[in-house]
Amino acid sequence: MNNTEAHKTQKQTGTQSVQSENPEKSVIQTMRRYSEYKDSGIEWVGQIPRRWNVKPLFSIAKLVSTSECEDKELLSVYLDKGVIKFSDVNEKRTNATSEDLSKYQLVKPGNLVLNNQQAWRGSVGVSKFEGIVSPAYIVLALSNEIDPIYANYIFRDPSMVSYYLISSKGVGTIQRNLYWPQLKRASIWIPPLPEQTAIAAFLDRKTALIDKAIAIKQKQIELLKERRQILIQRAVTRGLNPNAKLKDSGVEWIGEIPEGWEVIHLRRLFKFLNTKRVPLSGEEREKMQGEYPYYGASGIIDYVNDYLFDDTLILIAEDGANLLSKSTPLAFIAQGKYWVNNHAHILKPMLPGFEFWSELLSSVDYTIYISGAAQPKLTMDRLASVKLPVPPKEQIINICEYILNISDKIYSTLNIKKQEIEKLKEYKATLINEVVTGKVKVC
């Protein structure tokens, strides 16, 4: 099956799946259709309304390359956001930008920008901003016969992304480049301008409502995660009996603990297995690709064809900003066969209760134990000196059961929320595709 056929099949089955699972399907199914259709001549678009035109991209777009870019805002193109200001990127930046911006290209509002290496994944968009982008990007000035907001919808639609894929040159998914000589031949379907504007306004309204619903569910997910953390942190530091008599632990971050609990240095509770760690470079891991997890400071970062451990152990970050931010759990349980690099401490508990120990270690305030300003580090000696609240063995087992029970309930609800978000995203993509290709009429 070639790329075109694969996309066509995926699109058909994907649409059927969304419509069969989403209650929103009735919205699309009951929308009006145009009175007359014609073959667009574009295999993955199919029929379009008779009044719409089909033109090659080069007839409505001109390649531009201007490097008069002093004091201009740096822009970027993201898969799920289109063209945005680089300063608005919230997540960790994985690619560095050149200090020399003299060769960067000028982008004006209304220009179509394509990341030439990621266009096949959907990294394109019509810019709302004036700024500059990488000299490797493709920047196109669109003619006034196409509404820029409508253009942003069609050029980011899967129907167009299919063309970027089959027109890109390269091997696999690492390096696939799109070039103007191939791109300019793309067939673009164009409604009358007033209809474009109406379609764009309709989709702006509808997608804003869908995005709002997604944001609400994402907030609910965050609140559920926070609730789980609060309940578990209370359990591992105060126990399960809310009426238990308390005493001062003598440790600021712990506060009061139930009578019968002890405060013990970590070195007396765990055996360190750090001497068995072996770091592998990216090049070494590339040659050792396999089935066994390769752990770093924050969890699994790769898979290799060999392992160092075949045991259940607890890993905890040795370095990294996460020691302070705690954006991901600091301690986690590793099971089965796996490899660990030198960025995670390896601990074997001397008492039962892996769930208790991993959650307790994640809840510790390590601020006073961390060294290093630019790169926070928790050395083995300092970690060993951490004081922990320790309940009797039977309470540890009970707390583990509580953690598992609470986690199962909350994760079950989280999964439902995540599935609802995915269905909303699928519905949004289907709605946009049906509207911009004229399968339904909105004006």
Contact 320, 298 (CB under 8 A): yes
- The reported pLDDT for the residue numbered 44 is 85
| CA angle in degrees (0–180, nearest 5) for 394-396-401 | 100
**Cα separation, 302 vs 295, whole angstroms:** 7
Query: What is the DSSP code (8-state) at residue 377?
Result: B
d(CA 288, CA 277): 17
Residue ranges per structural domain of the chain: 23-212+422-436, 240-390
Q: Does domain 23-212+422-436 have CATH number 3.90.220.20?
A: yes
Amino acid at 292: Y
Which tokens is 425 given? 């995203």
Question: From CA 398, how far away is CA 345, in angstroms rounded?
Answer: 27
Q: How far apart are CA 415 and CA 94, in angstroms?
A: 28
User: CA quadruple 167, 168, 171, 174: dihedral positive or negative?
Assistant: negative
* Residues 374, 376, 378: CA angle, nearest 5 degrees: 155
- The domain made up of 240-390 has a fold known as Adenine-n6-DNA-methyltransferase TaqI; Chain A, domain 2 (3.90.220)
Instruction: Characterize the bridge pairing of strands 47-49 and 175-177.
Output: unpaired
Q: Which stretches does DSSP call E strand in 149-207?
A: 169-171, 175-177, 187-190
> What pLDDT is attached to residue 253?
87
Quote the longest CA-to-CA distance of the chain.
81
- Two tokens at 179? 């070039």
CA atoms within 13 A on the CB side of 47: 10
Q: Do 82 and 115 form a contact (C-beta atoms < 8 A)?
A: no
CA distance 235 to 99: 50
Task: Report CA torsion sign: 3, 114, 14, 195.
Answer: negative
Whose tokens are 């105060």? That residue is 238
Helix and strand element counts for the chain (H, E): 11, 26
86-96 in b/e form (b: 16+ CB < 10 A) is eeeeeeeeeee
Ramachandran category for residue 110: left, alpha or beta (phi over 0 → left; psi -120 to 50 → alpha): left
Q: Sign of dihedral through CA atoms 281, 285, 288, 292?
A: positive
- pLDDT computed for residue 277 by the predictor: 96
Each residue's pLDDT expressed in tens, for the chain with a length of 443 residues: 444 443 443 444 333 333 344 555 556 777 889 999 999 998 889 999 999 999 999 999 999 877 666 678 899 898 888 999 887 775 544 444 555 677 889 999 999 999 988 898 899 999 999 999 988 899 999 999 999 999 999 999 988 998 898 888 876 656 688 989 989 999 999 999 999 999 999 999 999 999 999 999 999 999 999 999 999 999 999 999 999 999 999 998 899 999 999 999 999 999 999 999 999 999 999 999 999 999 999 899 999 999 999 999 999 999 988 888 888 889 999 999 999 999 999 999 999 999 999 999 999 989 899 988 778 999 999 999 999 999 999 999 999 999 999 999 999 999 999 999 999 999 999 999 999 999 999 98
Cα torsion 69, 74, 77, 83: sign: negative
- The reply to whether 240-390 shares the fold of 23-212+422-436 is yes
pLDDT at 78: 87
Q: Which tokens hold the place of 355? A: 């769930």
User: Which segments of 55-157 does DSSP mark as H helices, in order?
Assistant: 148-155
Instruction: Please give the pLDDT value at position 262.
Output: 96
49: helix, coil or strand? strand
Burial of 29 from C-beta contacts in 10 A (0-12 / 13-18 / 19+)? exposed
Place of tokens 């060999």: 306
What pLDDT shows up at residue 171? Answer: 64
